Structures are given as C-alpha cells and as structure tokens.
Amino acid sequence: MEQIHREEAAALRERIRDGRAERHEVAGALRDVPPGARDGWLDPLLGLDALPDDGPELPPDCVPYLPCSADVLLRVVDEASIGASDVFVDVGAGIGRAAACVNLITGATAIGLEIQPRLVRAAREMAEGLRLSRAAFIVGDAVELTRSLPSGTVFFLYCPFGGRRLASWLAALDPIARSRPIRICCVDLTLPPRPWLTCTSITGELAIYRSMA
C-alpha cells in the first residue's frame, strides 16, 4: 500500500476517534483506495494487526475465522442497500472487522455474534479504541443469540457454519423473518430453500436473500 494511503488511514482513524468523521467520508475514502490495497488500508484504520488463533470453544461444525475482504463488504452495503436505520448482525463476527466497517461506512447499528470469547474481547477492544458507540459484540452461540435479536434487519454470514447448525440458525430466524422484512447477505454460502425466503441476487461469491414477510 502506498505511503499516502497509510497516512490517510491514520489521519481518518484519529478523526473517527474524535467523533469528527462523517460516514460518507469513511465510505468515500475506502472506495478511493485501489481495490487491491483496500484490505491493507482498512486494517490500520481499525487498529487491527495479526489475526488471533481460533480457540477450543470453536465447535467442530463451525468454520475457523477468516476476515471478509473490504471489496466484498462494499458490495454487501451496495447490493443490500444498507443504511443508517438498519441493524447489521454479523453471524460469526470474529474480531469485528466486518461489523465495524459496515457501521463506519453506513451509520448502521452493528452487532457481532461470536462463539469464541477471545475473539469477542479483541472485537470489543477494537470498537473501544475507535469509540464506536453503535457497535456491540456478544459472545455465545449464534443460534441461541439470534432468537434474542428481533431488531436485526440485515444478517451477514461469511460461511460461519453449515449443515445442521445452519438449519438450526434458520429455524431461529424463521419467526423474525415471517414478521417483517429482513435481508440475509451470504458470502461463499448458499442457503437451503425456505418458504419465507427468496434469493434476489447472486454476484460472484455474494448472495442476497430477502424475507417474504
């Protein structure tokens, strides 16, 4: 990444910490960075270093944490039409990278669900370091936690699990999706058919689903 982009990321980070950065400024700055350099720009902005290792709490049917690319996150925001009035729920949030990014560039409230306590601690430290008042991270099983999040409007899954756990998560989401419109953004994951769910777009690795409430 060019030195000018490093300097811009560092300066913008301080503006975010001081509460002086507008979301359109963050979104515009990220889009102005060449696609191949966006991840290298985003991590210093968020104050993230090397990824922590997964812990023993990760169930056998869950996928180890990997960060979603900044390019895909921008597409998620655009194709799911995420705005400041949304509640963005990251299922398998890891260290909070996707949730924080979406919060910063859209103003949406962000909630990260993560089963590994060490990753949740790292996510909370990152949010505190940036003074993100509308980003929260909860430790626990996403299947159980989703039942207690009726306010979620956009649910994001970067292939956190499959099989029976995915089926259980969809069952937990069922009453929410039947009661009001929601969007589900899936990266490298195809959802099994459900009567309350329709796929509205597939572009590359990203699929957008909407409830038919």
pLDDT in tens, 17-28: 999 998 899 999
pLDDT at 7 > cutoff 90: no
Long-range CB pairs of 72-78 (<8 Å, 24+ gap) are: 72/187, 72/205, 72/206, 73/98, 73/101, 73/102, 74/30, 74/31, 74/38, 74/105, 75/203, 75/206, 76/102, 76/156, 76/185, 76/187, 76/206, 77/27, 77/102, 77/105, 77/106
C-alpha distances in Å from residue 61, one per residue of 23, 45, 121, 149? 36, 32, 22, 23
Using pLDDT thresholds of 50, 70 and 90, give the confidence band for residue 53: low
Rounded distance between C-alpha atoms, residue 60 and residue 57, angstroms: 9
pLDDT at 88 > cutoff 90: yes
What residue has token string 């982009």?
Answer: 5
Q: Which helix (H) or strand (E) holds 157?
A: strand 154-157
Dig out the tokens for 158 from the structure: 């970067």
**What are the pLDDT digits (tens) for 127-151?**
999 999 999 999 999 999 998 887 8
Q: Would you state the pLDDT for residue 183? A: 98
- What's the pTM? 0.93
Contact indicator for 82, 88 with CB cutoff of 8 Å: yes
